[in-house]
A and B are shown apart, each in its own frame.
Chain A
């Protein structure tokens, strides 16, 4: 059964770069879309972006100028970097596995990482 485990810094100052990594256990990276989804406190889910098994990326247009998602096949990990963070980027960030055209939804999910941006 595939499991995702994520980690990264939980407290950032404004203008710093958010960096999170998600490791994939007991499964292949091939054939899937590896995604990041975030949830500000008390609010709904927001799709951040994805990288597929061939390295193609798609990003939420509202974050596109600041976000980078990358895949390391050898380590079976994928990462999120979000530059120039502000308080509006405070959220729980989840990694998740998706599929082509969203046919099988997002499953599994990582445990989530609360990232707080505060001076």
Chain B
């Protein structure tokens, strides 16, 4: 299966913790990567592999995975974290690379 499922929207109070989930059968065998996208900008990679943050990504972003579900956690959410977040992985054949539908994170 090549489908990745995300909740459409979540909200979090400033300074609190929010978890964004991504579900898909292929996550049992492939790593997930997570992207932050702000309006009018290209997506930015925030987590890949086994919870690895690219250079410049704050350590309040972390990733985890269990079975068919991967999670992106923002610990101590900041106003600038308000954005759309997308997960991505490979499908079971390793020939496709679908994205989840995206989760809009609102920081209250």
Chain B's closest residue to A58 (CB) is B95
**A side interface size, CB within 8 A:** 23
Task: List which B18-67 residues lie within 8 A (CB) of chain A.
Answer: 30-31, 33-35, 37, 42-45, 47-49, 54
Range of interface residues on B (Cβ < 8 Å): 20 to 34
Contact of B35 with A103 in the complex, beta carbons under 8 Å: no
Tell whether, in the assembled complex, residue B30 and residue A107 are in contact, meaning their CB atoms are under 8 Å apart.
Answer: no
Does B33 contact A102, Cβ atoms closer than 8 Å?
yes
Question: When the two chains form their complex, are residues B42 and A102 in contact, meaning their CB atoms are under 8 A apart?
Answer: no
A27 to B97 alpha-carbon distance, docked (Å): 23
> Which B residues are closer than 8 A to A by beta carbons?
30-31, 33-35, 37, 42-45, 47-49, 54, 84, 86, 88-90, 94-102
Residues of chain A having any CB pair with chain B under 8 Å = 35, 37, 44-47, 50, 58, 60-61, 94, 98, 101-107, 109-112
